[in-house]
Amino acid sequence: MNKLSIIIPVFNEKNTIKEIVRQVEAVALPLEKEIIIVDDCSTDGTREILKDFNQERYKIILREKNGGKGAALRDGFLRASGEIIIMQDADLEYDPNDYPKILGPILKGRGDVVYGSRFVTSDPKRVLYFWHLLGNLFLTKLSNLLTGLTLSDMETGYKAFRREVVDSFKNKLASKRFGIEPEITAWVARGRWRVYEVGISYYGRTYQEGKKINWRDGLAAIWHIIKFNIFKI
């Protein structure tokens, strides 16, 4: 394995996009980095910042219509050429210094998919919303019930895959917003891939700091879990 594709979906992150790319670049890895940034029709000036990026160094995708995180990730998956692919949020909640831990099971040949868990870790984790914690735990348990997996954090923004795994579902993804997390998990479970989980740090944001996911997305996630695991559509 020689190349890691890092997919960064972006929507209105003008204050963090340069810093997250700097952090990704700074991580020492035994792999070439292919950084794919997908702007989901930002309106805050993020697109103008991305237009100044080195177009030879980065793959920049500027979507013409806002489609949600799921749509942005799907575009990134289709452009990725690395043997390993990882998802990276642009809001600085997830630390790229965790890459070596996340990629470890894949690089050692033991895993096909690795989830970075915010709940089974001794690393720093910002204490925030109690109801978000309960919601995440409920959604993970419901997903596990239907997939047969034993994840502790299905909704995590850190998921890494061998290329074969992404190739098995990238043309089938249907979710547009945050339903992409349970949908990907459903496809992973159906593929019977070797799944690992490692603890990661988490520097969550408040709504005042720009957090976007809300209770409506939580309700939608319940439907997506049922839709992709029971109805398989």
Q: Which domains does the chain have, with CATH numbers?
A: 3-231 (3.90.550.10)
Name the β-bridge partners of 202: 125
With contact defined as beta carbons under 8 Å apart, do 159 and 195 qualify?
A: no
What pLDDT is stored for residue 38 in this prediction? 98
10: three-class secondary structure by DSSP: strand
pLDDT digits (tens, 9 = 90+) for 37-56: 999 999 999 999 999 999 89
Q: What is the DSSP letter of 1?
A: -
Residues of the chain with pLDDT under 70: 207, 210, 233
SS (H, E, C) 15-67: CCHHHHHHHHHHCCCCCEEEEEEEECCCCCCHHHHHHCCCCCCCEEEECCCCC
What pLDDT is stored for residue 204 in this prediction? 80
pLDDT digits (tens, 9 = 90+) for 6-21: 999 999 999 999 999 9
Query: Which CB contacts under 8 angstroms, 24+ apart, belong to 185-188?
Result: 185/143, 185/147, 185/149, 185/151, 185/154, 186/143, 186/146, 186/147, 186/225, 186/228, 186/229, 187/228, 188/113, 188/147, 188/149, 188/161
Cα 154 to the center of its chain, rounded Å:
11
| Cα distance between residue 208 and residue 151, in whole Å | 30
What pLDDT is stored for residue 21 in this prediction? 98
Q: How far is CA 7 from CA 20, 53, 206, in A?
A: 12, 16, 23
What pLDDT is stored for residue 210 in this prediction? 66
With contact defined as beta carbons under 8 Å apart, do 139 and 225 qualify?
A: yes
| Cα distance between residue 131 and residue 39, in whole Å | 29
